[in-house]
Structure 1
Amino acid sequence: MDTLILTLQLFTSLPIKKAVEVSDERLIRGVALWPAAGIVIGLFQALVFCLADGIFPLQIAAVLALMAELWMTRGFHLDGLCDTADAVFSSRSRERMLEIMKDSHIGTFGVVAAVMDLALKYLLVTASEVPVYMLLAAPVAGKMVQGICMYRVNYPREKGLGKSYIGRVPAGITVISVAFGALWAGGCLISADFTFPEAVVIPVLCGGLAWLFRKHMVKVIGGMTGDTLGAASEITEIFFMLLMVALEGVG
Structure 2
Amino acid sequence: MSLPRLRLSEEWQTFWLAISFLTRLPVLINIDYSPRLMSNSSTYFPLVGLLLGIIYAAAYSVLEIMFSPLVAVLLVMVLHLWLTGAFHEDGLADSLDGLGGGYTLEDRLRIMKDSQIGTYGVIALVMALLLKAALLVESQVTWLALLIAPCISRLTPLLLMRWLPYITGKKTSKTGSVANAFPTERLLPAVLFTVLVIALGSFWLQALAPLALAATLGVALIWGSYLKRQLGGHTGDSLGACVVFSELVLLAGLV
| TM-score where L is the length of structure 1 | 0.91
State the partner residue of 2:6: none
CA root-mean-square deviation: 1.5
Decide which of 198, 206, 219 is 2:229's aligned counterpart: 219
Q: Distance in 1 between matches of 2:97 and 2:177?
A: 24
Q: Is 1:199 aligned to 2:199, yes or no?
A: no
2:40/2:178 contact within 8 Å kept: no
CA offset at residue 152 of structure 1?
A: 4.3
1:140/1:185 contact within 8 Å kept: no
Q: Distance in 1 between matches of 2:141 and 2:50?
A: 17
2:38/2:177 contact within 8 Å kept: yes
Decide which of 111, 122, 129 is 2:140's aligned counterpart: 129
Q: Distance in 2 between matches of 1:27 and 1:215?
A: 26
Q: How do residues 68-217 of structure 1 correspond to structure 2 at under 5 angstroms? A: 68-157=79-168, 158-188=171-201, 190-192=202-204, 194-195=205-206, 198-206=207-215, 207-217=217-227
For 1:216, the aligned partner's letter is: Y
- SS of 1:224's equivalent? coil
Gaps of 5+ in 2: 1-11
Q: Distance in 1 between matches of 2:220 and 2:127?
A: 19
CA offset at residue 36 of structure 1?
A: 1.1
1:87/1:101 contact within 8 Å kept: yes
Aligned length: 241
Q: Distance in 2 between matches of 1:62 and 1:129?
A: 13
Q: Deviation string for 1:182-217 (max 9, x for gaps)?
A: 3213422x242x22xx23212221212212211211
State the partner residue of 1:54: 65
| TM-score where L is the length of structure 2 | 0.89
2:102/2:111 contact within 8 Å kept: no
Aligned residues with identical type, % of pairs: 28
Q: Distance in 1 between matches of 2:212 and 2:41?
A: 21
Q: Deviation string for 1:209-235 (max 9, x for gaps)?
A: 212211211211121111000000000
State the partner residue of 2:21: 10
Gaps of 5+ in 1: 246-251
